[in-house]
Structure 1
Amino acid sequence: MEVLELARWQFGITTVYHFLMVPLTIGLSILVAGMQTAWVRTGNERYLKMTKFWGKLLLVNFAMGVVTGIVQEFQFGMNWSAYSRFVGDVFGAPLAMEGLVAFFVESTFLGLWIFGWDRLPKRVHLACAWAFSLATVASAYFILAANSWMQHPVGVEFVDGRPTMNSIWAVLTNNTALAAIPHTIAGTFSVAAAFLVGIAGWRLARRRGEDEHREVWRSSLRLGAWVGVVAFAGLVISGDAQGKLMFEQQPMKMAAAEALCHTEQPASFSVLAVGDVADAQCEDVKTFTVPALLSFLAHNDFTTEVKGIEDLVGEYQAAYGTNYPDDPALGELAGQPIDYVPNLPVTYWGFRIMIGFGALSAGIGVLALWLTRRGRIPGSKWFPRMVLGGIATPFIANSAGWIFTEMGRQPFVVVPNPTGVDGVWMFTAQAVSRVSAGEVWTSLIALTTIYAALGVVEVFLLRKYVRGGIEGVMPPKKPQGDDDADQGSGDDALAFAY
């Protein structure tokens, strides 16, 4: 395998793995802060138990997210140094902001929240929970601003062969980023919601009728189910906005999402395809379509023309060339024809996996709400299996969405802005470092092995604390009359942290 292919595999593996932790941390941190708010406002111990149980799982996941996230930024220097030199003036600013937010604000307020139980006033302690959760959202925003600049470069001028930022405000208010952030946050709520429904539903069904904390599990399940349904509605609305931007900014990505080989007016939306969608000529592909729906998704009407892959390839060749530069740094690709068509099976099916599993997650939430209405506790054997399996559905949808987003912009690592500055674009083949295949193989194998081990550790810890239930996070009840019988202690705070 070439260095380019290996480097892409490594970045893909580590990024998708890291992103398994990120949405759960963001969504769950906000829900936990909401649970603590309910406890502070009502004094109901049920909400305190919910806060401590789900908070403990949040801490395990956050710790793994930090460890796996550190590698991401190192890779820009390891395998993508040419890219780093090209975009460093722009890309460094939002990444620096994210680092300051993540490592200073998040860590500071998370530490205060962990060790502040019974040391800080209730409302101050609650404020720390909200500060931490909102900092995770801000951190995601800066990362998305950086990624969105790669998808739609703005706020720059082209100086000495490199983009130079002339407006940080334009970068941070990029319409691509403003569309991505609500979609991403809705996705994090979907992940956290399924996590609540799955674990609480399993606990509820496992000890039906005999668990003294039954109301904790039932409240957690119904909270997660409602959040999941609302989150899916948010995903649909924000995804529609992203689709319209994609039509304007990355028409090839839209065509690849539909395996739309030939220009159509009006354009139909492909529900399902039978045949080899990898064939850009579509000779052996049969699709089941909804007439004119793709035109509506592209431009809010049922008559808009949507260009197909064949026409777009000609336009890209005219604008950006037919062959790669004859540069030895490009290896086997030097002087070779440029393939402007993304991996069609990945983009076509990835787009449908994203939608399908997102809808499935919401459907499980609706069913869970119905089965637990009016105080009911599901007694069937299939219910705990369904909700536990449902935990995976939004994770799959999130991962498929990101894979589609990143692979759909190939062969570019920085996509040309149709209305932007000439020259501000870069082929992925030009972005890779001058390293040997053996060096990338070494880091790829090492990181994959380490990440696999970390995955085992996280699953073990989560399983342990889920099985431990409420008893594992609440301080033991003390005899009446004990001078130290007030709720919580410094040792309890440390026990909660670990």
Structure 2
Amino acid sequence: MEIEILSRIQFAFTVSFHYIYPPLSIGVGLILVIMESLYLKTGNKVYENMTRFWIKIFALIFGLGVATGIIMEFEFGTNWATYSKYVGDIFGSALAAEGIFAFALESGFLGVLLFGWNRVGKGVHLFSTIMVFLGSMFSAVWIVVANSWQQTPSGYHIVGEGMNARAEITDFWAMVFNPSSVDRLMHVWLGSFLAGAFLVLSVNAYYILKNKYLEIAKPAFKIALTVAAFTSLLQLFAGHRSADGVSKNQPAKLAALEGHYDSSSVADLYLFGWVNQKEKKTSGLAIPGGLTFLVHQDFKTPIKGLNSFEEGTKPTQINAIFQFYHIMIAIGMLLIGLSWYGMLQWKRGKLFEQRWLLLVFGWAVLLPQIANQTGWFAAEMGRQPWVVYGLLKTSDALSKTVKAEHVLTSLILFTLVYATLFVLFLYLLNRKIKHGPEGFDHYEVDETVSSLRTGSLKDPGTATL
């Protein structure tokens, strides 16, 4: 296998594995702020206990995110030395900003968040929770800025020629607010909120199904459901804005996302389908002219198709890009429907009476993760063959001295190590979930006890702890 393919597979694998954890950190962080704010406002110990429990989950996620993220920075130097030289002044400044303004903030207050209970005041502890959450948000800012610059470079000039060429910043804020950074950041943040919300929904759906910790599980479920409902709807608009930016700045990617080849015709909006790359034809269920309408607000204006781009300047894996993109959209619509159906059942007072719905929420924790991954796959594969759009091709960004067998060996080792870390993560997460929130370690809340506490049990003598 060629070194370019191996290096791309290795980096895609490490990024994909790492990207499980930062969205969870951001999403769970938001819910922690809400839970602890409710505790500070009401003084209700239920909110304190659920906050303490989810802080433990957050700490586990944070630790895995740090451990899996560091390795990527080494890969820039080992596998992608030419790329690092070319964009080091720009990419390096964004990574440095993340370390100074985001990671230091997040990790600095994490100690107070974890160990500050009963050592600092309630307000100080809430402030620390907010700072940790903001730190995770700011971390996403600089990573997305760096990646967005590769998609839509701005605020730079090229110095040197040939192998000595490199990009230098001429306008820092133009680099930060490049044409795609804000839209993509909103999309990433909302995807992260959904990942965290559905993790909380899943765990508490499990508790409710098992009739455990109901005093905590039900209000926590409602908090997460509220976050999921509103962020899923906002994600629909954020995703549209991001796609609209792609239509202006990366027309070849837009054509690949929808499998559109003919530049002389309007573009259909596919709900699902299949791209035959040999025949350059896409088939499936589509809204005629739908993509044209979303881009131009009419059904007549043609969309530039893949046939108009020269070979070597456009994506090649069109069907894979098409499928990843439509999986992301399908999951996004499913999350909207599921969340708002849950809100409707809440309004009707039947949210916790439908076992099938709780089972669906229990397994739905996988959906935001799949959507986040497939969205990134579509975005990054759609940028090919460019690693910096229009400036540096992926094939030219490789290290010149690294051999294919070296990359293959490290890929195998990374796979083994990351698989071990993932198993460890699942084991520890399951252990914390089974242990449950503090204050409920020595008993379970079964239906009889729940009835007793609500006053619906006529003979309290039959209830036992």
Q: 1:177 corresponds to which residue?
A: 181
Q: CA deviation at 1:381?
A: 4.9
- 1:334 maps to none
Query: Residues 103-134 of structure 1: CA distance to partner in whole angstroms, max 9, x if unpaired?
Result: 42111111121111111111111101101101
The residue type equivalent to 1:136 in the other structure is: S
Per-residue deviation at 1:390?
0.5
Of 293, 297, 305, which aligns to 1:296?
Answer: 293
How much does 1:364 deviate? Answer: 2.5
Question: Measured at CA, do residues 279 and 22 of structure 1 come closer, stay the same or move farther in structure 2, by a change above 3 Å?
Answer: farther
Instruction: Map 1:93-172 to 2 at 5 A.
Output: 93-160=93-160, 161-172=165-176
Instruction: Indicate the residue corresponding to 1:341 in structure 2.
Output: 315
Do the aligned partners of 1:194 and 1:365 also contact (CA within 8 Å) in 2? no
Deviations 1:455-485 (A, max 9, x none): 0011011111111112478899xxxxxxxxx
Which of 342, 360, 376 is matched with 1:402 structurally?
A: 376
1:258 and 1:52 map into 2 onto residues whose CA distance is 45
- Give the match's secondary structure for 1:163: strand
Counterpart CA distance in 2 for 1:179 and 1:379 is 39
- Cα contact 1:33–1:130 (8 A) shared by 2: yes
Q: CA deviation at 1:379?
A: 4.9
- The answer for the alignment partner of 1:433 in structure 2 is 399
Secondary structure at the counterpart of residue 286 of structure 2: strand
Aligned-pair identity (%): 33
Structure 1 residues 53-62 or 299-308, which shifts more?
299-308
Q: Give 1:325's aligned residue.
A: none
- The equivalent residue for 1:495 is none
Give the match's secondary structure for 2:314: coil
Flag the 1:125–1:280 CA change in 2: closer, same or farther, 3 A.
farther
Contact 1:343/1:407 (<8 A) preserved? yes
Q: Contact 1:342–1:409 (CA<8 Å) still a contact in 2?
A: no
1:312–1:378 Cα change, 3 Å? same
| SS, match of residue 341 in structure 2 | helix
**1:292 offset after TM fit, Å?**
2.2
1:352-389 deviation digits (Å, cap 9, x = unpaired): 10011122223232333344445546455534432221
CA positional deviation for 1:138 = 0.7
Work out the CA distance in 1 between the residues paired with 2:219 and 2:140. 28
Q: Are 1:355 and 2:362 matched, yes or no?
A: no
Change (3 A) 1:110 1:474: farther
Q: Retained in 2: the 8 A contact 1:280–1:309? A: no
Q: Deviations over 1:41-100 (max 9, x none)?
A: 110111112211111111111110010011111110010001001111111101111122
Q: Is the 8 A contact 1:261 1:280 kept in 2?
A: no
Mapping of 1:306-325 within 5 angstroms? 306-313=303-310
What aligned pairs does 1:167-246 form with structure 2 within 5 A after superposition?
Answer: 167-207=171-211, 211=212, 213-246=213-246
Q: CA–CA distance in 2 between the matches of 1:4 and 1:353?
A: 27
Relative distance call for 1:119 and 1:473 in structure 2 (3 A) is farther
**Secondary structure of residue in 1 paired with 2:309:** helix
Worse overlay, 375-384 or 124-133: 375-384
Give the letter aligned to residue 206 of structure 2.
W
SS of the residue aligned with 1:470? coil
Tell me which residue corresponds to 2:453: none
Is the contact made by 1:298 and 1:304 (CA closer than 8 Å) also made in structure 2? no
| Correspondence 1:279 to 2:278 | yes
- Cα displacement string for residues 322-358 of structure 1 (whole angstroms, at most 9, x for unaligned residues): xxxxxxxxxxxxxxxx363331121101111001112
Contact 1:183–1:238 under 8 Å retained in 2:
yes
Conserved? CA contact 1:148–1:174, under 8 Å: yes
Cα separation, 1, equivalents of 2:76 and 2:335: 34
Scaled by the length of structure 2, the TM-score of the pair is 0.90
Alpha-carbon distance in 1 for matches of 2:440, 2:115: 14
Q: Residues 406-427 of structure 1: CA distance to partner in whole angstroms, max 9, x if unpaired? A: 00010000002xxxxxxxx000
1:393 is the counterpart of 2:367: yes
- Cα distance in 2, alignment partners of residues 352 and 367 from structure 1: 22
Offset from partner CA, 1:274-319 (integer Å, 9 cap, x none): 4x5333621xx42322122201222344333211111123xxx6xx
Provide the rounded CA distance (Å) in 2 between the counterparts of 1:30 and 1:232: 15
Within 1, Cα distance between the matches of 2:376 and 2:116? 37
Q: Secondary structure at the match of 1:104?
A: helix
Say if 2:49 and 2:438, in contact at 8 Å, map to a contact too. Answer: no
- How many pairs were matched up? 438
Relative to structure 1, is the Cα distance of residues 101 and 150 closer, same or farther in structure 2, using a 3 angstrom cutoff?
A: same
Looking at structure 2, the residues matched to 350 and 377 of structure 1 have their Cα atoms a distance apart, in angstroms, of 32
2:10 pairs with 1:10 = yes
Q: What stretches of structure 2 of length at least 5 have no aligned partner?
A: 444-465
Partner AA of 2:33 in structure 1: A
Q: What CA distance in whole angstroms lies between the structure 1 residues aligned with 2:278 and 2:230? A: 38
* Partner of residue 462, structure 2: none
Instruction: Show CA shifts across 1:417-458 (max 9, x none).
Output: xxxxxxxx0000001112111110111011111110000011
Q: State the alpha-carbon separation in 2 of the partners of residues 475 and 378 from structure 1.
A: 24
Indicate yes or no: 2:30 matched with 1:26. no
Give me the CA root mean square deviation: 1.9
More moved, 372-381 vs 11-20: 372-381
User: How much does 1:172 deviate?
Assistant: 1.1
TM-score by length of 1: 0.84
Partner of 2:157, secondary structure, is strand
User: For the Cα contact (< 8 Å) 1:261–1:308, is it kept in 2?
Assistant: yes
After superposition, the Cα gap between the structure-2 partners of 1:395 and 1:446, relative to the gap in structure 1 and judged at 3 Å, is same
Contact 1:266/1:302, CA 8 A, preserved across alignment: yes
**Contact (CA 8 Å) 2:37, 2:126: kept in 1 or not?**
yes
- The one-letter code of the counterpart of 1:191 is A
The 1:71/1:475 distance shift into structure 2, 3 A limit, reads: farther
- Number of the residue aligned with 1:270: 270
